[in-house]
């Protein structure tokens, strides 16, 4: 759908205008703008963009707001109380519904398991942070709005610690390193991210070598920020893309398991009791099978 702005709507915020024009909630419109589903004169803009006369707005999303359904999908729950959950997400499971994934997500499974999930965005109840579809490992879930708000602030203040293991291409010579490079949408492919100074956000990844093999390196990654595809983009940026990554290392895909990345540790203060809690989980069988291939090659 294309909408051309007339002089009556000059200087009106983009999100306010579309909310009225399409009869949708501001939060729904803001989400679509954030996802890149709204373009002004062919470019992505922020939700507070001030409209100009003759601006052309491209609306590329369904006008039907989806209703989430409960699905009986098995959950690997490491911890649960009345405020939070810690779950081990398998590789291949999307965290929340979105474009192309309306069902069979972690959110659908959580809704089947409990009626008590925090109200964040309409399609993300309980979700405080995310990991990619093909990344396995630990996720912290909020069951109340109070817990969600406190945990969100803790994430922003870098008080929640997350550690990953990854198998990357090539031998890394240094024992540890720090990648400080901003990440934004790939200008040629909006499903990908890239290191760029344009329309980007700060991103910092620390890594240390666990073990070196003939043509690869097993590393531990500790995030200071949580950008989409952060570890995958940063390691590719320094010339050591993740093994089996179908997006950022297409030449080295072994099977359909996905990138060799596992979120094995999370540590945080409980949002209500303030008790420090930490959890670790072993990598899945498929991860270890690929790892053994590279150990023995």
Active site positions, annotated: 132
Burial of 147 (C-beta count, 10 Å sphere; 0-12/13-18/19+): buried
Q: Which two tokens stand for residue 153?
A: 């602030």
Instruction: Please spell the DSSP secondary structure of 199-228, one letter per residue.
Output: SEE--EEEEEEEEE-SSEEEEEEEESS--T
Q: Which two tokens stand for residue 161?
A: 């610690």
Closest among 75, 79, 117 to 266, alpha carbons compared: 79
Q: Given CA atoms 153, 156, 158, 160 in this order, what sign does their dihedral have?
A: positive
Instruction: Give, as one character, the DSSP assignment of residue 98.
Output: B
3-state secondary structure of 60: coil
Closest among 8, 49, 55, 7 to 29, alpha carbons compared: 49
β-strand pairing of 136-142 with 261-269 = parallel
Residues in the chain: 297
- Which residues lie below 8 Å from residue 206, measured CB to CB, with a gap of 6+? 176, 177, 178, 179, 221, 222, 223, 224
């Amino acid at each position: 759908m294309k909408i051309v702005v007339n002089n009556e709507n000059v200087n009106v915020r983009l999100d306010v205008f579309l909310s009225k024009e399409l009869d949708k909630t501001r939060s729904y419109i803001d989400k679509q703008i954030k996802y890149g589903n709204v373009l002004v004169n062919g470019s992505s803009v922020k939700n507070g963009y001030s409209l100009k006369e003759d601006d052309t707005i491209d609306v590329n999303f369904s006008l039907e707001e989806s209703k989430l359904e409960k699905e009986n999908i098995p959950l690997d729950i490491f911890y649960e109380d009345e405020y939070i959950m810690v779950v081990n997400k398998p590789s291949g499971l999307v965290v929340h519904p979105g474009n192309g994934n309306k069902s069979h997500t972690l959110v659908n499974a959580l809704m089947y398991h409990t009626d008590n999930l925090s109200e964040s965005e309409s399609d993300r109840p309980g979700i405080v942070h995310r990991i990619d579809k093909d990344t396995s490992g630990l996720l912290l879930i909020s069951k109340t709005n109070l817990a969600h708000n406190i945990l969100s602030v803790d994430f922003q203040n870098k008080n929640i610690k997350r550690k990953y293991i990854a198998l990357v291409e090539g031998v890394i010579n240094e024992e540890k390193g720090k990648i400080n490079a901003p990440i934004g949408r790939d200008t040629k492919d909006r499903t990908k991210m890239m290191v760029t100074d344009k329309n980007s956000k700060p991103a910092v990844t620390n890594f240390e070598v666990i073990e070196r093999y003939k043509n690869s390196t097993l590393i531990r990654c500790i995030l200071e920020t949580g950008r989409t595809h952060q570890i995958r983009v940063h390691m590719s940026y320094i010339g050591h893309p993740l093994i089996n990554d179908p997006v950022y290392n297409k030449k080295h895909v072994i099977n359909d398991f996905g990138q060799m990345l596992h979120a094995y540790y999370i540590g945080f203060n409980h949002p209500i009791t303030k008790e420090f809690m930490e959890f670790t989980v072993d990598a899945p069988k498929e991860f270890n099978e690929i790892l053994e291939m590279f150990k023995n090659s």
